[in-house]
Structure 1
């Protein structure tokens, strides 16, 4: 059967994906203590490359203060380029394109991860989730400017490493989102204030990265931006805020917008009376100005087609790519019946899933990984937040 997601897609910059399927950023937590690439990571991505059109690699920190968890990739130093080059090469087998997600964790870190240093954010406001979050230190203006420069330097390294683009991680309550949120950003200078003021940091990072691409790239190089559409804290980001921000992204230098949600069929977490899908709202707001990568519990070919039917140009999946590295190849071969939709704990080594990743799949993601040994029905993210979104929703 021929599906729409099997058709190629060409970005305005001229980068062509051989199909519209994207592997979401999938955290392996398997880098060395200093953020250097490991063979486990190379094997994991290499096993999943070659069929789908694009892999977005897991997040890498752009500066030491931006590290958010142990086993996290670094792109903060030129010494990281050699290992990242091997990672990019593994992802780019048989024409798959490779983008690296880059970020600063902000207050979503702690002094253990930062080796005794206090986490930083837009303001000295502690995160609600997890409950043991530490109060961050408010960044100085000079430090903000240093981080903006660091995003540019990281982009130069990604270009040198052979990636086809970078994605700014402005979702899942990390620093870019923290500056946009009225919960975590209570500044009164030019980096805070009203909604437009809270967009200033993201705009400055986008502009710096775009300028670096213009200066350093010897080939078409993509710039993406990932957003979380809502927060549940009060005050917090609401859908109308995100739609205003998406309107700005549509006029910016980014090449695509990528939404972060546990379900592609989600409606508002804050307004139960609003029954319009968030994906539909985003498509309407973008109005064809930028392509949208839709995501959220995509497992079957029908799921992928449904996301494209909502108006997204590309469709991403994460957990199913962990379970089934050959998802696209099996569909292309007319072998859909053999696709894995469950994960056997005894097959995780065979599937090149790193040991650290196996650990958290069995814990934080246990209820949604469809383990063959799980007697419970899989959890549904349709009207709740997923663990990777950075906050816990009590239903």
Structure 2
């Protein structure tokens, strides 16, 4: 292989001693292919097998922890014990070639389509609709908040029983955990909202519940990560300085990793801090050596990936690129980087093992993927 790319395929060891075979992570990406009853479909299993063989760690699409948290059509569930066999099929498929399998757990909150949740009862931190949405959620009651925190723990227990190597708490992309942290969606006056410190209580309570469950049901090798979005465009909304406070707290939680959600790895903050540094730089400075940061965002070529690793992130998640090129890692390892695909054609669905709904979204969403006729 090209010596310049060796940093990408070097093993990585978490502080607890768990080792990944390389630095590349399959990013969590919704594929809309699960069965209507919330079980993982054969199509979905095939999609994951095709993409997980080369990476050091594979993070699943998000799975809902309660029926009220289902955020997508074709999303699989972890909301009851009947789902454990389904989850085991997925964990086994992801681990087949030596990748670590991590289940991303979430609740959609006000982002859930009404038709997917019981009685159309959409819930959130407060009764504030998302910008551009015609659906106003109902504010969760105190007991309901505590029940959802417990549900994250229960989903973690199911992940352990199903054989997953870890879970990732999905606190990003505008879903319920982020809704509690955001001043746009959280207007509460109790312990779960108000000041910045109180808006962190729900995310941190979920982290503590997941850690407690892992300590009770798993051994020390179980991985726990947290994903977040650094900013929101809304006013009021999360700013970069808000996020640095949260990330500082997360870095003290003894998490195995922290995972930023970005479309562009090199993007700079929108507001809240001085410009001139990338978001990644601010995050690395805040976290220090307390936890590894997974970077992500528009990385396609090995050259771009090496540059990102050299910027200081020890792990790099690839999303769209592993959809277009499932053999990305293998081609780097075999010195075949010239064969890596950075586009796809309208005839590639079968070759790339992409489920129908996701394929149609790719083809019919201009600018999302570089599609060649």
Scaled by the length of structure 1, the TM-score of the pair is 0.91
- The structure in which a higher percent of residues are helix is 2
Work out the CA distance in 2 between the residues paired with 1:272 and 1:240.
6
Q: 1:126 to 1:324 in 2, by over 3 A?
A: same
2:51 is aligned, of 48, 52, 69, to: 48
Alignment deviations for residues 300-358 of structure 1 (CA, whole Å, 9 cap, x no partner): 01111121111111001100000011000011111111111111121112211001111
Correspondence for 1:7? 10
CA distance in 2, matches of 1:344, 1:371: 5
Q: Take 1:49 and 1:138, find their aligned partners in 2: how far apart are those partners? A: 39
Aligned to 2:181: 180
CA distance in 2, matches of 1:368, 1:253: 35
Equivalent position of 1:308 in the other structure? 309
| Aligned mate of 2:91, from 88, 94, 115 | 88
- State the distance in 2 between where 1:324 and 1:138 align: 42
Give the equivalent residue in structure 2 for 1:36: 39
Secondary structure at 1:88's aligned position in 2? helix
Q: Counterparts of 2:21 and 2:185 in 1: how far apart (Å)?
A: 40
Do structure 1's residue 16 and structure 2's residue 19 form an aligned pair?
yes
Match of 1:266 in 2: 267
Q: Alignment RMSD, CA only?
A: 1.3
Is 1:278 the counterpart of 2:271 in the alignment? no
CA–CA separation in structure 2 for the residues paired with 1:260 and 1:98: 19
* Structural mapping, 1:129-140, within 5 Å: 131-140=132-141
The match for 1:114 is: 117
Structure 2 equivalent of residue 164 of structure 1:
165
- 1:133 deviates by 3.8
Q: Runs of 5+ in structure 1 lacking a partner?
A: 374-395
Counterpart contact for 1:327–1:339, Cα < 8 Å: yes
Structure 2 CA distance, aligned partners of 1:115 and 1:121? 14
* Cα distance change of structure 1 residues 209 and 273 upon mapping to structure 2, 3 Å threshold: closer
From 111, 125, 130, the equivalent of 1:127 is 130
User: In 1, distance between residues paired with 2:276 and 2:324?
Assistant: 32
Provide the TM-score with structure 2 as the length reference: 0.97
Contact kept, 8 Å, 2:240 with 2:270, in 1: the verdict is no
- Equivalent residue of 2:116, what SS? coil
Equivalent residues of 1:228, 1:260 under 8 A apart = yes
Superposed CA deviations along residues 229-277 of structure 1, whole A, max 9, x for unmatched, are 0011111100000000000001013211000010001002237961210
Shift of 1:83: 1.2
Taking the aligned partners of 2:305 and 2:100, their CA distance within structure 1 comes to 19
Match of residue 69 from structure 1: 72
Report how many aligned residue pairs link the two structures: 370
1:117 CA displacement: 2.2
Matches within 5 A, 1:301-380: 301-364=302-365, 366-373=366-373
Is the partner of 1:100 in helix, strand or coil?
A: strand
Determine whether 1:200 maps to 2:201: yes
Provide the C-alpha distance between the structure 2 equivalents of 1:82 and 1:162, rounded to a whole number of angstroms: 10
Gaps of 5+ in 2: none
Runs of 4+ in 1 over 6 A off after TM superposition: none
C-alpha displacement at 1:219, in angstroms? 5.3
SS at match of 2:244: helix
> What whole-Å deviation, never above 9, does each CA across 1:56-108 have from its counterpart, x for those lacking one?
01000000011111111100011111111111111112211110100000000
Cα distance in 1, alignment partners of residues 160 and 13 from structure 2: 20
